Chain A
Amino acid sequence: MNLTLIGFGGLATALALVLTLFAAAQAVAAGRGGSPARLVAARNAMLAIAALLSLAFGILIHAFTTSDFSVAYVAQNSNLALPMLYKITATWGAHEGSLLLWAWYLAVLSAVAVGLHWRDHPLSMPWIIATLALVQAGFLALIVFLSNPFAALAPQPLDGRDLNPLLQDPGLAFHPPVLYLGYVGFAVPFAFAVAAMIRSHVGLEWVSAVRRWVLFAWTALTSGIIFGGYWAYYELGWGGYWAWDPVENASLMPWLTGTALMHSMMAQERRHMFRLWNLFLVVSTFLLTLLGTFLVRSGVLTSVHAFAVDPARGAYILGFLGLAILAGYGLLIWRAEAIESEARIEAPLSREAGLLANNVILLMAAVIVVAGTLFPLAVEVVSEEKLSVGAPYFNRVMVPLMLVVVMLLAMGPSVPWRGMPSRRFLRQFRLPALGGLGAAALAAGLGTRDALTLAAIAVVGFAALATLADIGRSVAARRKVAGCGWARAVMIAFGQGRRRMGGLVVHLGIVLIAAGMIGSGLFQEARTVHLMPGASTQVHRYTLTLRGIDDTTGANWQGRRARISVSEGGQVVAMMRPENRFYETRGMATTETAIRSEPGGDLYIFVGGEQDGGIVAQIYWNPLVGWVWLGWMVVLTGAGLSLAERVTRPRPAAATTAGREVPAE
């Protein structure tokens, strides 16, 4: 029974691959002037692909929940003793399953995009479908021929080899699905852009159509990155959340270009500027999501995350990536001459100039992350040398760039289009600037000497105040117009100006994240101590005492747990229990850090091992680290607000007369 079900999963995937080629062929024929019926056929094929892949993905999850070890992928990544949550999340825990997750997302998002935009974009639709279908074909071919999650294993083992213990954590269970949603979300804007370029119709149409898609993908990507950082913070035990690991960098690259895109699209919407630039950014962002997926999944990077290492797939992946780059940038170069921006930047103190600066700096940052990540690979290919580009390099280069971005973020929203008098500009930002400088002076007075740290404090203080002032001004204006109280004015401002207020709230969230990063990155207190039972140590304002060490066990692991009491002013305020675990099936040890959060910071304990009857512990006080997670929630709120803006969907007059099914041609 199970065997036939699994066989059916493989069959559904293979059938979906055939249908992608069919859909692409029909869509191209329709786009080149063929019968509209072909476009309908292509659309139906896309819907069928979504259904087939949903079925296939469901079957794979079912194989995991029922521990069907006749499937090689399940046997390699699951175990009878694995808790049910991780049995489900193990589905995307390694190469094959995560590719299927990617393909399934793409199929579902494609179907949604085709359904949503079917009537509004009849002329672009053939090319949108063709692009999405071809991308899907590239992924499905890889899945069917080289990374089949449904491949059988004979003889069937009695038990599975277990999921990588590092991935047996709720944080990581949700990191890949959210991150991939962000990656795949950029495929839809890419398809619209390709359609616009092929039709040589690069005006507002594609930009207005994809604004929400870009915002949605950006929000998911941001959340995925933050989840990854949260997981690293909890599970890896070195007291931080961002290590400039190549795999982290892989997700940051499309984030940087996607952020640039989201902003420069506004310039095209409002002023018809940056047309070529927007197409370049959307193509680059999509290509970087592919690069990110493949860098991680091909195992070309040796890092904590690269749990699938198979150089045999490398050739295919490189080929696919190469084709995508050629097609994307080729189309851009082919159309470049026809795409001229019409409006010019009229003043240096204008929204346009700010957006240009934002784009230039975010793109510089993206180039640095891409180059820094790929450079060691390039050096290794060219020469026999092996070198590393790690945290010290990236911190040195990226922190100043990001400070400039935060500076622009603070000013941008309140600088009007087309320019403003410099007197007004100075008056507007005088108070926030004084506040930022005051904060830096205060920090200097408290003993901070590092120039970059002081600059960071000044910039973040300035940005927080300027953004809050901006929100305040909007509310005050509404209050004046409506002649109502403050509470009502807040309601009106947030209810009617959702897009603008949403943007400001996102900015505020980013400022909170920046503040959390400065606090935890630059003011961390750390101790490395050897504690015998009964002995204490001091960290921050707490006294930590080792009370004992016990044995402990879980469903599929055994471990040792230290009991550490935390007291403040002679009163015990908490017990903390950092653990070391050993997962027998994989023969791997992991550590479970103990973390106690309060608004001012986190107390963080990591036990490295036992020695002479005591423990060797790393204890950290991470100031403001919770603000990073809090800031993410604020970002999410702002993005939700902006997405909730009412849609005024254009309705082509022709479509109503020509009928619903067949697009008007």
Chain B
Amino acid sequence: MSRAARLALLAALLATPLPAPAQVVSEAPEEARVRELARTLRCPVCQSESILESRAGTAQEMMVLLREMVAAGQGDTEIAEFFRTRYGDFVMLAPPREGAGRIIWALPLILVLLGAGVFAAGLRRRGPARTPADTVTGKPLDAARLREMEP
């Protein structure tokens, strides 16, 4: 539709009073929790999409299962375990904290310790600053020197 036609339509809509909507649909009450859980489950047949984002058949089926389980009042861990046993670790977007998954969860902690160590070491090596000079080679073509040479 052209821009003019679109504007005309909008103007027509604005001019005519809206009929009262036939019905006001609101979201099913448990849908927010469904979304939250769906974001943590990977669609097994797609490429790194969660089942919330994916429109593949498998993902849709998983959404239906998820909705049923949420409606039945099952807990988060129960639901996660169900999908994990049925589809494998692969569908958990947060890797399990056991087996190989332990390594990747331990990594941030190790890095924080290492990083703190590096930072502390960098500070502890404090001392009087020496005159900065290019002692490594002291060759004439260093940019700073070149700038000094400029008339």
Contacts and interface: CB of A to CB of B under 8 A. Distances in A.
Whether chains A and B associate is yes
Nearest to B107: A371
B95 A528 contact: no
Contact of A529 (B25, B92, B93, B101): B25
Contact of A304 (B34, B47, B52, B89): B47
A572 B150 contact: no
A609 B137 contact: no
Interface string B85-109: 0001111111110011101110110
A314 to B, nearest CB: 18
B142 A392 contact: no
Interface string A565-582: 101001110110000000
A271 B132 contact: yes
B125 A344 contact: yes
B94 A386 contact: no
B94 A393 contact: yes
A97 interface: no
A387 B122 contact: no
Contacts of A236: 53
Given A390-B42, A528-B31, A532-B22, A572 B123 contact: no
Contacts of A339: 136
B68 to A, nearest CB: 15
A575 B22 contact: no
A528 B48 contact: no
A364 B111 contact: yes
A309 to B, nearest CB: 11
B26 A529 contact: yes
Interface string A218-258: 00000000000000000011100001011000000000000
A349 B137 CA distance: 32
Contacts of B31: 527-528
A371 B104 contact: yes
Nearest to B148: A650
A303 B48 contact: yes
A340 B126 CA distance: 15
Interface string B45-65: 001111011010000000000
Interface in A122-151: 122-123
Contacts of A204: 134, 142-144
A271 B129 CA distance: 9
A240 to B, nearest CB: 8
Nearest to B55: A608
Interface stretch (A101-109, A354-362, A434-442, A455-463): A354-362
Interface in A359-406: 360-361, 363-364, 367-368, 371-372, 375, 379, 383, 385-393, 396-397
B129 A387 contact: no
A66 interface: no
A201 B101 contact: no
A387 B93 CA distance: 8
Interface stretch (A321-329, A469-477, A535-543): A535-543
A362 B18 CA distance: 55
Contacts of B105: 393
Nearest to B143: A208
A interface, how many residues as a size bin?
35 or more
Interface string A335-359: 0001110111111100001001100
A17 B55 CA distance: 44
Given A203-B136, A243-B53, A344 B150 contact: no
B32 interface: yes
B10 A387 contact: no
A318 B24 CA distance: 57
Contact of A338 (B91, B114, B136): B136
Given A200-B137, A529-B26, A535-B25, A304 B49 contact: yes
B73 to A, nearest CB: 19
A347 B127 CA distance: 9
A534 B24 CA distance: 9
A570 B17 CA distance: 9
A367 B111 contact: yes
A652 interface: yes
A391 B50 contact: yes
B135 interface: yes
Contact of A344 (B49, B53, B129): B129
A372 B107 CA distance: 9
Nearest to B117: A360
Contacts of A342: 129-130, 132-133, 135
A635 interface: no
Nearest to A237: B53
A301 B146 CA distance: 48
B132 A343 contact: yes
A531 to B, nearest CB: 6
A271 B131 CA distance: 10
A245 B25 contact: no
B123 A348 contact: yes
Nearest to A619: B27
A368 B50 CA distance: 21
B136 A392 contact: no
Contact of B27 (A387, A529, A572): A529
B14 interface: yes
A302 B115 CA distance: 32
B51 to A, nearest CB: 11
Contacts of B9: 575
Given A236-B53, A651-B146, A344 B95 contact: no
A402 to B, nearest CB: 13
Interface in A152-200: 199-200
A356 B119 contact: yes
Contact of B21 (A209, A338, A536): A536
Most buried by B among A122, A363, A387, A589: A387
Nearest to A382: B100
Interface string A302-333: 11101000000000000000000000000000
A-B interface, 6 closest residue pairs, ranked by CB to CB distance from nearest = A390-B93, A650-B146, A392-B94, A238-B53, A272-B132, A536-B21
9 contacts: A122-B141, A123-B141, A304-B47, A346-B128, A364-B114, A387-B96, A388-B48, A535-B25, A650-B149
